[in-house]
Structures are given as structure tokens and as C-alpha cells.
Structure 1
Amino acid sequence: MRLLVTGGAGFIGSNFIRYIINKNHSVVNIDSLTYAGNPDNLKDISRHKNYRFVRGDISDSRLVESAFERDIDAIVNFAAESHVDRSISNSSPFIKTNVEGTRVLLDAALSRGVRFLQISTDEVYGSLGARGYFTEKTPLSPNNPYSASKAAADLLVKAYYKTYGLPVNITRCSNNYGPCQHPEKLIPLTITNALRDIPVPVYGDGHYIRDWVHVEDHCRAIEAVLQRGVAGEAYNIGGGSERTNIELVKTILGIMQKDEKLISFVKDRPGHDRRYAIDYAKIKRELGWCPLMDFDRGIKETVRWYVENTRWWKSMLREG
């Protein structure tokens, strides 16, 4: 495959590009290198013969047109403003990138007749109670500006399939973890704060529940959708590893042999969804994918990565 990947210098995008390049596929990567994008994430493959980088904004249609190469098979759209707290403070960049940017990419895909894969999130479904799971048939019910912008983009993708027949897929994944995740996110925030022996903030009562999947498993799922996904279909991707935030933070502090007194409960986030949990039966049944990374092993490896890459995350803190 030859892929046009957007947002490829970010956390999930850079892991996917490295994964797919190692499978001998080719990538053109568009990224505007905002605070969350880091060219060092792909430094090891920056000169690879199957990789080309284009710096720019996906809402710039001329830039997107110029990045296309003749034999592109599909667009994979990772590019997104994704931090909920930032969306609450200022939703404008989220609408521009997540909605208008997706529209520009869809038009580019339509003009060339290439497949389009939208990388979405389980947050578009809203909040779950104590029981049940999100399926692909769960109605979209976002509760914050970030998830609302992603839901809007998903609906645009669906509309381009229904209206124009554009071959599209949408993947909605649970919370990712692994190397190269920006230290504003919960797991790297906990690790990097603990390394500096400063308070680890936990929202509200700490009993918000998230399902966690390792980023490498997510990359495998995206590959499966690109290779075998049915046009027009959405696929949920989950890790089967639900944890409360406080349980997760305590697990990380235990691995690091840090005192739980570092935990600092802070004022809750507005519109905070109580629980996310993914039913990934469809992608398992239809495409043969399931998560392989055991959470206990994966979180230990993730802690080790941040311990060994202090220079990387400190540079991200300065830029963020």
C-alpha cells in the first residue's frame, strides 16, 4: 500500500507510520507540527526510501493537493486536536482541524477515488453507566467540544459514503497508551510527574473508568481495516482492560516505587464522562483482530520508555 497519513508526527500516527513502514508499505505524512506533533517521533525513519514528510495544515486544500502522489491507495486521517481540557478552554482549533480538515481530506479522496479511513474515538458515544459496552450501533452522543468535533467528522465521512459512494471506514478506539504520547495525557502525565516527585493530579473522585489498548495493537487493527475492511463500515477497537483512573495511577506509582502521597485530587472536569468501554466483537469476528498486549506488561514497558527517554518528554513539556 501507499498511504497518505495525516497527523503522523503525533502519538498514534507516528507509531502507525513506523509499524506500516516496517511492513514495507510507503507513506506520505502531512503534519502541521503543533505542540502535540514531534518530528523526533519519526527520526529513525526520516530518511527511509518509503517515507516522505510534508509540513502543513490539513484544512489547507492546496497543501493537501500538493502532497498527493499518483499512486496513493488510501488516506488515513489521524490529524486531530485531541485534548479535552484544551477544547473546553477554546473549541475553535478543534472545529477547524477535526471538522473542516476532515472535509478537505474527504474532497481530496473523492476527486481521486481513493479510500478514506477516519481514525475516530470511543468518546463520540458519550458516557456509559456501570454496565454495557459501546458497539458500532451505539448512537453518537458526545459531551464535550472535542468529542463533538470528532462526531461531526464521523458524520461527514458517513455522508460522503452515502452521497458519493466514496469508499470509507471509521475506526473508534478506546484509550491508547505506549511510547511517544504527549505528557499532558493521563499515563505519561503520571509517569513524568512521579519522576520529578511533583503532585499527580486526579480529577474528581478518581473513579472514572477507561478501557486501555496498547498503541501497537491499535496499529494492527488499522492495518486490518485497510486490508480487509468493508466499505462504509465502522469498527470499534478495544483493549478489554478497564481501569478506574485512581487504580491506574496507583498501579503506575507502584511500578515506579513512588509514594501514593503524590496523588492530588483536583476539581473535576466539566462534562466528564463516567465510563468508556468498547465491545470489539465485530472487528474480531469480521477481520480476525484482537488485542495481544497484556496490560500489565504493556504498562511496565511504557513506564520504562518514559524513564529512558527523559530528554524527549522534557522537550514536549517545553513546547506544550
Structure 2
Amino acid sequence: MDVDEASTSTAKMAKIESFESIYPGVLVSYGKFGKCHGSQCDGVPFETWPMEGRNFCEVCATKEYGSDFKNAKDLYSEISDAKLKCPAFDNEGSCKSEDIDIWEFYRGSCCEPASKVLTENKQAQEKQLKVVNQFYKDDFHSLQGIEDSHENTKNIIEKTEERLKREEMALKKMMEKVEKTKKYLETQKNNYEAEKKSINQCEKEKNESLKRFRQLSYEYHSVAAELSLDDEVEAKENRKQYLYCRVCGEFYNDTDRRKSFLTKCGHVACLKCFKDDFTDDIDHSSCPWHIRVMDCENEYYQHDVKTLYE
């Protein structure tokens, strides 16, 4: 066997040398998923795939089942739960821990002495360098990803803060507008109530004037007939209805259909319409306009009714 073949053979043997032979006395427990049952690794990987009752690292699983083994249905990986001793367990100042994971072991992060411990075993040196270098690459890419995400989050925060300021300004303006609208509404409500009072007062005064006008126009019917009161609709209507009773629809005459009015409200009807509701038991009645023509709830006695010819 020449020198090159011997070197190659030694390299192959180094790749499959067990973890325990490289780091004697540090393995406390493989745990449930910390041991690889393949022959292409040192037996203590960082991740294993449980298959057919055994655990395999990615290298050994590829050797055993092919490169597409990850596509198998319901197949998933498990993180190693192997437990190890502190790399500086026998050194002064060691944390003496026997419960560190494989990441802490290679990084030497469990205590200060562990971060400085060195080994003379060439296989262990090579293993440490490869693993820690891979850690560095993974951490570097992870850091880049997190930093990119952090920068993106920063940009989102800044944009969101700007949008919030705009929305707060818009809200402030809207609230000012709301307050102005509230004041305007309150003013209009006050105006409405004032106008309502004015309407009621005007309605009362209009009714009083109309009541008196009716009494006078029928009392002085000959004069009223000659007047042209174009602005008084009620007067025109009264003149149209001058010849007959608006309650029963009968024409006025000189007997029971004589034109009469009620002194309390000024409503005009024939005398018979005023007296029809009187009975022996009741000596007063309601204005006939109450039901037949328009609402009027005035009650009266016979002496409250006056004829226009008396």
C-alpha cells in the first residue's frame, strides 16, 4: 500500500471513529434521540430521524435509505437530547455539570474554563474545528436573517408610526368637526324649540282671530259679503258655505235650520245641529264640529248657542 492509499484509509477511519473514542469519559447519556445507529458518523449527531425503531443522522440515513429518505410519509427529525459532561470537567473552576447538551459541549459555553479547554487528540481537534466552523456559518446566516428581519420590522414600525400620526391628526380634525357639529345641532335644537313655541303661540292667536272673524262675518253677513278679503282663505270658504249648514248639509231657513254659532268656539251650524244631541238626562253637549267637521271638544249649554237672527 503506497503513502496516498494509506492516507486515504486513515481519513476514512477517522470519519467513522466513535464520539466516545474521540472524547472519552464525557458522554453521560444518549437520551432518546441522541444516538445514531448508522456507521457513517461518530454516533452522537445533533439531529436524528427515527426510522424502523432506530435513529439515523442525515449522513447515515442517506447511506441506508437513499437521498430522498426525507420524503417518506410521516417522517420527521428529532433534536438530540444526549447529555454530556462539561469539557473542562476535571479542570479547576469547572462548572462540573453533567447535563449540558451537544451544542454547549462544542461551543464550551457552559463555563469559562470550558470555553478555553484544548485537546491534544488530533481527531478531536479536527472534529471541534469542523463543528464550530459550521456553527459559525449557521449563526452568521441566522444573524443576517434576523438582522434583515429586524431592519424590516424597524421600517414597519417607522411607517406605522407615521401612519398613526396622520390618523391621529385626522382623528383630531374629525373630533373638532364632531364638536362643531354637536354645537350646531344644539343650536338648531334650540331654534327648533323656540320656533315650536312660536308656532304654538301663532296657532293660538290665529285660532282666536279666526274665531272672532267667524262671529263677526256671520253677525255682519251683509257687510262681509260685500268685502273682498283675498288674503283670507277661511273667509272665502265661509262665504261659499254661507247658504247651508256645513254640519248637516241642509240649507238654512227661518225655523229649525236657522244659522247659529257657539259663543265658546265660534263654530257655525244650524240650530237643529246644536240641539240634536241634547236629551232629558243630559243638559249639555259637545260642539257638533267635534266629529262631523273638525276637532272641537267644547262642551256647551243651550244658552251658549246664539242665532244670527236674534
Q: Whose relative contact order is higher, 1 or 2, with alpha carbons under 8 Å and at least 6 apart?
A: 1
Does the alignment reach a TM-score above 0.5? no
Using the size of structure 2 for normalisation, the TM-score is: 0.20
